[in-house]
Amino acid sequence: MYGRNVMRVELFCKGGGLVAACVSCTILSSSLILSGCSGGSDRWKDARPPLVDASGVATFNGTPLEDAVVTFRPVEGNYAAFGRTEANGDFYLTTFDDGDGAVAGEYNVTVTKLDIELEENPDNPQVLPPIYHSEQSMIPAAYGIADESGLTATISSDGNDDLLIELVGAPEKNNVLADNR
């Protein structure tokens, strides 16, 4: 009986069983790897602070501000939140996952809206992405600087769906933030 088991192992390793062994090992490895992705506990997600829904509207001179980035930096704490405004000025804050909200608390708020000009590289127009560009703020640049924006917000422990950011003014002429020409 002992001799037969040894013989089977030898035949399995020497013959076409090698392919089957490789396939079996691959399936076993995949099963073990995928079993680690089946939900369970994730210590990083478990350590996240609780979030509340937070959304609102941003306007510039009374009209909805489209395609701007709204950033909420906590006065105390480590978890900033951000959002991008839609065509109607609506934004939904994100801290970890898309649209998951923000930590309740006090925030300093910044808003940026840039017009970015991309140009082809004159030496090699095939280069992607274009290396020459300039960025110009489409709203007063101070709104994009945390210490100068003057914007603050409080997100309650129940969440907020009525945050209102009203910006006024005009971008400074020739307000070029970066020019790599």
Q: Does any domain span residue 43?
A: no
Number of folded domains that form the chain = 2
Over the stretch 124-135, which tens digit does the pLDDT of each residue have? 666 666 655 677
Contact, 103 vs 76, CB < 8 A? no
Q: Does any domain span residue 112?
A: yes
Q: Same domain for 59 and 142?
A: yes
Contact, 65 vs 168, CB < 8 A? no
Q: What is the pLDDT of residue 88?
A: 98
Nearest Cα to Cα of residue 85 among 106, 54, 59, 51: 59
> From its phi and psi, is residue 125 left (phi > 0), alpha (psi between -120 and 50) or beta?
alpha
Q: Same domain for 64 and 26?
A: no
Work out the percent of the chain whose per-residue pLDDT is above 70.
64
Whether residue 13 is predicted with pLDDT greater than 60 in this model: the reply is: no
Q: Same domain for 85 and 166?
A: yes
Q: Same domain for 20 and 95?
A: no
Residue 111's H or E segment, with its range, is: strand 105-112
Domain extent at residue 173: 50-179
- Per-residue tokens: 105: 């608390």
Note if the pTM is more than 0.85. Answer: no
CATH code (residue 140): 2.60.40
Q: Same domain for 74 and 16?
A: no
In the block, residue with structure tokens 């914007």: 151
- Count of beta carbons in the 10 Å neighbourhood of residue 71: 19
Q: Same domain for 95 and 133?
A: yes
Give backbone dihedrals phi and psi of 33, rounded to 5 degrees, phi first: -65, -50
Nearest Cα to Cα of residue 181 among 128, 134, 117: 134
Q: Does any domain span residue 101?
A: yes
Q: Same domain for 72 and 160?
A: yes
